[in-house]
Amino acid sequence: MKAFVFSGQGAQFVGMGKDLYESNPVAKELFEKANHILGYRITDIMFSGTDEELKQTKVTQPAVFLHSVISAFCMGENFAPDMVAGHSLGEFSALVAAGALNFEDGLKLVYARAMAMQKACEKTPSTMAAIVGLDNATIEGVCSEISSEGHIVVPANYNCPGQLVISGNVEAVKAACDKLKEAGAKRALLLPVGGAFHSPLMQPAKDELQAAIEATTFNKPKCTVYQNVDAQAHTCPNEIKANLIAQLTASVRWTQDVQNMIAAGATDFTECGPGKALQGMIGKIAKGNEAITVHGI
């Protein structure tokens, strides 16, 4: 069975999507539609801007979304998923590609999400850190031990075995990193991000995005969608909306997503979007399973 997965924030690079724009009329039409919806030429930044311009909140998330969705659409009949999933931001791309959201509404929600998250980041000094080479239970225990009111650190992204990202207040994350190094982590690295994504500190963004999601029409997708919040397959529009709202403050259970997709019969994974991060993660999650193939477009 074929699974298509969609990239998250951080995979962007200058030049992304330019080849699609120049070679495919469907891609060009969708990119120009996006320029109109956003009110600025995001294509100029994506194709020939600077790294700093591409890192702007209002640009990064829509850019990754556009590259991912348009890549899938340009496959035509070859885009025939039995199931889809997306990592964090990529869940919006997966929902559009699977037909649960139309292109215009998906882009508007992604832009609203980006701006709401930026506002939340500006309220409280916060960050994230990647923990490598330690089991999940130990990381969860340290986060629980350190966390208190106003001093939050939680598991944010379960990326693959031996790689978990934590998120929270700057001092809490730093304290957790120190303890996790003492506990045997190979690495505990602060990430160059502006806030504590997928933590309770994103509650203001969640409240803001909830209104936008609830006002948007969702359809039944053409295949099952594995969502980050519970790593389960969903096709009910109301369940999908509720999980999408919850996602901003909940952990991204990517390891469990992939494991459950494999358990459901997925043997062929295709990453849609810039970069190869998900391909690497899936390779580690499915390590030893020779029946699994992983590639990108």
Annotated active-site residue 88? The verdict is yes
Residue 150, token pair as written in the block = 């106003």
**Active-site residue (options: 198, 199, 234, 251):** 198
Selected catalytic residue, list 88, 147, 199, 251 = 88
Pairing of strands 2-6, 83-86: parallel
* Number of CB atoms found within 10 A of residue 148's CB: 9
Q: What is the DSSP string of the chain?
A: -EEEEE--TT---TTTTHHHHHH-HHHHHHHHHHHHHHTS-HHHHHHH--HHHHTSHHHHHHHHHHHHHHHHHTTGGG---SEEEESTTHHHHHHHHTTSS-HHHHHHHHHHHHHHHHHHHHHS-EEEEEEESS-HHHHHHHHHHH-BTTB-EEEEEEEETTEEEEEEEHHHHHHHHHHHHHTT-SEEEE-S-SS-TTSGGGHHHHHHHHHHHHTS-----SSEEE-TTT--EE--HHHHHHHHHHGGGS-B-HHHHHHHHHHTT--EEEEESSSSHHHHHHHHHTTT-TT-EEEE-
Sign of the four-CA dihedral 96, 102, 107, 108? negative
Which residues are part of the catalytic machinery? Answer: 88, 198
